[in-house]
Amino acid sequence: MDTARLDVLRGVTRHMATADNMETVLRSITTALVEHADATVAHIFLYLRDDECPVCSKAAASRQQVVDGPPALHLLAGAGVPFGVGEPVHRISWDVQAPSADLIRARTPLQTLENSERAHIRRALAAAGGHVHGALGAAELLGINPSTLRSRMQKLGISLKTVPS
């Protein structure tokens, strides 16, 4: 790990060391990201039911209202100054059409591009019966040159021995 990243981690850790509850820990993380990682803005949303969210449950209690409904993304900590967007939204509901809500509906975390490419190549190899070259080989299915595919396989650590045929 390079020195700059280690310093950022140390800064985050120092902020968290004095925390005594989850809200303080999350606020410490976002503050440290802004102060030590050159972030302009940092937000942490958690996927919670409204009655689990301290902000929503406190607001409902003050209005003497029962809180229920499906889980949603709730902003529990933020730091920095968002430019041109105003105040951040506290609650992103389950059914809104937004990338963040799409992720929680799919319940699939984003993968790195490298992991996605590895999985895609493995699926193509399996569909081609483990063949890289030739008609209906994985390279043809992917629309790339067989030598390019072999190069990518080597870089990604894919062996034909580990691909189901």
Q: According to the model, what pLDDT value does residue 8 have?
A: 67
- What is the number of residues in the chain? 165
For the entire predicted model, the pTM comes to: 0.47
Residue 32 · residue 11 · CB < 8 Å: yes
Percent helix, strand and coil across the chain, each to the nearest 5: 50, 10, 40
Dist CA 70 CA 62 (whole Å): 21
**55 in Cβ contact with 26 (< 8 Å):** no
The answer to whether residues 134 and 124 touch, using CB atoms and an 8 Å cutoff, is: no
Q: Can you give the pLDDT at residue 90?
A: 78
Contact between 99 and 50 under an 8 Å Cβ cutoff? The reply is no
Strands of 41-48's sheet, edge to edge? 41-48, 72-80, 91-92
- What are the extents of the domains in the chain? 3-106, 113-162
> Tokens representing 140?
């043809």
Q: Determine the pLDDT at residue 25.
A: 78
- Mean pLDDT (whole number) for 19-46: 75
Give pLDDT, residue 139. 93
Is the distance from CB of 125 to CB of 132 less than 8 angstroms? Answer: yes
Closest among 69, 112, 109 to 92, alpha carbons compared: 69
Q: Read off the pLDDT of residues 69-118 as tens digits, 9 standing for 90 and up.
A: 677 878 888 787 765 555 667 787 777 777 767 766 676 566 778 888 98
As a whole number, the mean pLDDT across the chain is 78
Using a pLDDT cut of 70, give the percent of the chain over it: 72
Residue 2 has pLDDT above 80, yes or no: no
Q: Tokens 């933020």 — which residue?
A: 78
